[in-house]
Chains A and B, each alone.
Chain A
Amino acid sequence: MGIHESTIQKTRKPKFSVLQLLTHGILVLWAITNVFPFAWVVMNSFRTRQYILTESFRFPTNPTLENYFNAFIKIDIWRAYANSFVVSTSVAALTVLLAGLAAFGLTRYIFRGHSILISVVYGCLMISVYSTIIPVFSLLLKLNLINTLVGLILPVTAGSLAFAMVVLIAYMWGIPRDLEEAAFIDGCNVFQICFKIIFPLSRSAFATVAIFSFLWSYNDLFTQLFILRQKQTWTINRLLNEISSMYGTDYGLMAASITLVVIPVLIVYIFMQKHIIKGLTAGAIKG
């Protein structure tokens, strides 16, 4: 007994060992590389172009808000924000709703062709946007939806549905049936069971799916490049792409624009990071 205790004692890490310090050192180094680029950009967004080149590392000596003025005036950043917000929220909402319904249907009903449908979902997970964008474009063209936010929302929602369904199916599968059976005996119909019992129980999975869809549609540049052609429809990321070609040498303006794009995400992240991290990786581990 005594021998075992002392062995365990040895493995309990002392408060400050060299190894600990070293480990923290490496971790801090990596943390710095993660933070530095953003800090640099934010700092420089308060400088005009000449100063950025000459003193990029020190604190701004003549801070200015000029870049931000330019960002709001020259490039319609409010509008882009609004567009991004509308698109991402719609995608998230639609995905949650449709995937939730489908997951409910697939986990509660058994019928012929059930497994085929599930394989279709997994198959769609594998299909990347590259192999669908061209025909999707043609389709949207025929429906006159190019250059519209709706035209962007539809394919992007479809793109996140597969992942959402996989996550929700896995989750709902694990919900024990007793509650439903009790409700049924009490006279609830299927719809009530779905909306009043299963959906609320799956809240955290829904939150994960919603956040994921929101983030993914916010950050997706590729689809937006194809579908959004006119300035009024541009989302934040699409706008960023243009800025570098239109104002590529106005470094201050670019820094300010990047900051404006990143800050909201940063704020959302800090508040929601628990959910985001848990949800995004849950899918990966299960998959």
Chain B
Amino acid sequence: MKKIMSMLLVILLLAGCASSAGNKSGSKSDAKKITIRTASMYGGTDPGSQNYQNIMNQFMADYPNVTIEDESAPIDEQWRASVINDFNSGNEPDVIYFVHHADGQALVDTGQVVSVETIREVYPDYAANIGDSAMNVLRKKDGQVYCVPMTGYWMGNFVNTELFEEYGLDLPTDWDKLVTAVETFKENGVTPFALALGHIPHFFIEHMFLSAGGVEALQERPNSEEEVPESWVKALEILKELYDMGAFPDDTNSTTEEAVKLLFNEGKAAMLVSGTWHPGSIPVEDPTGQLVTQDQVMVMPFPMHPDGKGTPGIVGGWNGGFYISKAAWEDPEKRDYVVKLVQAHTSSEAISNYTGKDTGGVSPDSSVPVPEVSDRPLVDRGFKFWAEYSANHADPACDHMMSDPKNILYQGLTKIVTGDLTPEELLKQVAEKKPFDY
């Protein structure tokens, strides 16, 4: 019995130690040591994440009494939900780089973040370098802005120019050329589009909206069955049309995003609808000859369907921004540091690193020049793409939807292409949930 008791004590002690290591440690009160908890979507090894880490490290070097505990994670639905949970439960980080659409509104609704206007009352230069047009996009229901963006993105159709050349095809600048390309590729065993419809249809569906109704379609906000726009119905019909043509991998309904990206990067798929985050995974040179290189890829807008009506354009927007928690703002010891931290991430210099040639992101700070990227052809083409088409861009429509209807839409897509569900039915299910009513 004694053995059991002592074993129990040891184990509980261990559990306590292990758990406190993962717990919020709060600010230590000895020698004005400050601990700032941060979180972000930069949880990977991409250049953006590396830049994020660099800025954090630099900050800690500049202010030796500050320790930053970072809990960044790759972005996905579960992470977003858990962030909101944390804010609701008093477990929130002090500074977080988070999205700004429906989930951003949910964050604001927790009442635990402080608005930029409030911060500017004390720090008038806060986020002064960020252009107004960017800030305006981020206004929430109460008219205030709560986060500071530092990088934006665009989405487009990446095409493997080598493959197009090999089969004597014109690049898909319009629908007919796209169809010809799809058919030719299909006949020759090349996957036309690298798409994992059952896993991440997020980017492709927005381009279906574009193709059916231009940027106007992206700005529709139906909140009931009657408000479902024709362009959205058309968009789903276009999706099925492409599926029936064989434009997607055979296992598009059950394969993963990673797997299809690999298809494209290995030259087995001709086109990939993605965004600024993709060029980072394409090497500039490849001695093994197995991978596609940057000079072999172009990015272009997705062509409009002949039945489509609307202004052609591209999908793009701001990734999100840095929020400061109310608790950190109201903590007199932390306030100055968290403000400085955000400014460290959103200064012109930081922005030029977040958006520069390494990440391909676009800048909300007009004083940061669009980089000339001579050594990375695809990234360079990306910036030119943005420069040429950004006049007509819109946020992804689905980003503004609440989780439940959004997921219903995404999951319904595999049923649309197999014909098990009609576009009208699916959109009805989605709109019934009042996706934009929040």
Q: Do A and B bind each other?
A: yes
Name A's B-contacting residues (CB within 8 A): 82-83, 86-87, 89-90, 93-94, 96-97, 141-142, 144, 146-151, 153, 195-196, 199, 229-233, 245-246, 248-249
The listed residue (A90, A230, A232, A245) touching B11 by CB distance below 8 A is: A90
The listed residue (A97, A149, A199) touching B19 by CB distance below 8 A is: A149
The listed residue (B1, B4, B15, B71) touching A153 by CB distance below 8 A is: B15
Residue B259 interfacial (CB < 8 Å)? yes
CA distance A93 to B88 in the complex (A): 33
Would A150 and B8 count as touching, CB distance under 8 A? no
B19: chain A residues within 8 A (beta carbon): 148-151, 233
A231: chain B residues within 8 A (beta carbon): 71, 73
Name B's A-contacting residues (CB within 8 A): 1, 4, 7-8, 11-12, 14-16, 18-24, 71, 73-74, 76, 82, 85-86, 88-91, 256, 258-259, 262
A144: chain B residues within 8 A (beta carbon): 23-24, 89-91
Q: Which residue of A lies closest to B82 (CB)?
A: A229
The listed residue (B15, B256, B258) touching A90 by CB distance below 8 A is: B15
Supposing A141-B85, A149-B18 touch, asked if A90 and B1 sit within 8 A by C-beta, the answer is no
**A90-B15, A144-B91 provided; 14 other pairs, C-beta below 8 A?**
A86-B18, A87-B15, A90-B14, A144-B89, A148-B22, A149-B19, A153-B15, A229-B82, A230-B71, A233-B22, A245-B256, A249-B256, A249-B258, A249-B259
Q: Which residue of A lies closest to B14 (CB)?
A: A86
CA distance A147 to B83 in the complex (A): 12
CA distance A83 to B22 in the complex (A): 11
Instruction: Give the shortest distance, in Å, between B77 (CB) and chain A (any CB).
Output: 11
* Number of A-B contacts defined by CB within 8 Å: 73
Would B15 and A141 count as touching, CB distance under 8 A? no
Would A245 and B15 count as touching, CB distance under 8 A? no
Instruction: Give the shortest distance, in Å, between B195 (CB) and chain A (any CB).
Output: 16
Would B7 and A93 count as touching, CB distance under 8 A? yes
Would A245 and B76 count as touching, CB distance under 8 A? yes
B1: chain A residues within 8 A (beta carbon): 195-196, 199
The majority secondary structure among interface residues of chain B is helix
Instruction: Give the shortest distance, in Å, between B87 (CB) and chain A (any CB).
Output: 11
Q: Which residue of A lies closest to B39 (CB)?
A: A230
Would B258 and A150 count as touching, CB distance under 8 A? no
CA distance A261 to B18 in the complex (A): 20
The listed residue (A93, A146, A199, A249) touching B91 by CB distance below 8 A is: A146
B76: chain A residues within 8 A (beta carbon): 245
Q: Which residue of B lies closest to A74 (CB)?
A: B45
Instruction: Give the shortest distance, in Å, between A281 (CB) and chain B (any CB).
Output: 25
CA distance A189 to B337 in the complex (A): 62
The listed residue (B8, B89, B262) touching A93 by CB distance below 8 A is: B8
Which are the 6 A-B pairs with shortest beta-carbon distances? A148-B19, A232-B22, A195-B1, A233-B22, A141-B89, A149-B19
CA distance A141 to B11 in the complex (A): 23
Instruction: Give the shortest distance, in Å, between A6 (CB) and chain B (any CB).
Output: 59
Supposing A229-B82, A249-B262 touch, asked if A90 and B18 sit within 8 A by C-beta, the answer is no
The listed residue (A86, A195, A248) touching B258 by CB distance below 8 A is: A248
Would B22 and A248 count as touching, CB distance under 8 A? no
Q: Which residue of A lies closest to B256 (CB)?
A: A248
Instruction: Give the shortest distance, in Å, between B397 (CB) and chain A (any CB).
Output: 25
Would A148 and B256 count as touching, CB distance under 8 A? no
Q: Which residue of A lies closest to B44 (CB)?
A: A246
CA distance A149 to B73 in the complex (A): 19
Instruction: Give the shortest distance, in Å, between B277 (CB) and chain A (any CB).
Output: 15
Q: Which residue of A lies closest to B257 (CB)?
A: A248
CA distance A144 to B74 in the complex (A): 24
Would B74 and A246 count as touching, CB distance under 8 A? yes
Count chain A CB atoms within 10 A of each CB in B12, B15, B76, B88 and give the residue with the most: B15
Q: Which residue of B lies closest to A147 (CB)?
A: B22
CA distance A144 to B256 in the complex (A): 35
CA distance A276 to B1 in the complex (A): 22
Instruction: Give the shortest distance, in Å, between B390 (CB) and chain A (any CB).
Output: 32
Instruction: Give the shortest distance, in Å, between B18 (CB) and chain A (any CB).
Output: 5
B14: chain A residues within 8 A (beta carbon): 86, 90
Would A93 and B22 count as touching, CB distance under 8 A? no
Q: Which residue of A lies closest to B43 (CB)?
A: A231
Count chain A CB atoms within 10 A of each CB in B1, B19, B88, B258 and give the residue with the most: B19
Count chain B CB atoms within 10 A of each CB in A87, A147, A151, A196 and give the residue with the most: A147
A233: chain B residues within 8 A (beta carbon): 18-19, 22
CA distance A94 to B7 in the complex (A): 10
Count chain B CB atoms within 10 A of each CB in A90, A96, A149, A150 and give the residue with the most: A149
Would B4 and A97 count as touching, CB distance under 8 A? yes
B15: chain A residues within 8 A (beta carbon): 86-87, 90, 149-150, 153
The listed residue (A94, A147, A196, A232) touching B8 by CB distance below 8 A is: A94
CA distance A91 to B226 in the complex (A): 54
A146: chain B residues within 8 A (beta carbon): 85, 89, 91
The listed residue (B4, B22, B90) touching A96 by CB distance below 8 A is: B4
Would A86 and B23 count as touching, CB distance under 8 A? no
CA distance A196 to B2 in the complex (A): 10
17 chain-A/chain-B pairs, Cβ below 8 angstroms: A89-B11, A90-B11, A90-B12, A90-B14, A90-B15, A93-B4, A93-B8, A97-B8, A144-B89, A146-B91, A149-B18, A150-B19, A230-B22, A231-B71, A231-B73, A249-B256, A249-B258
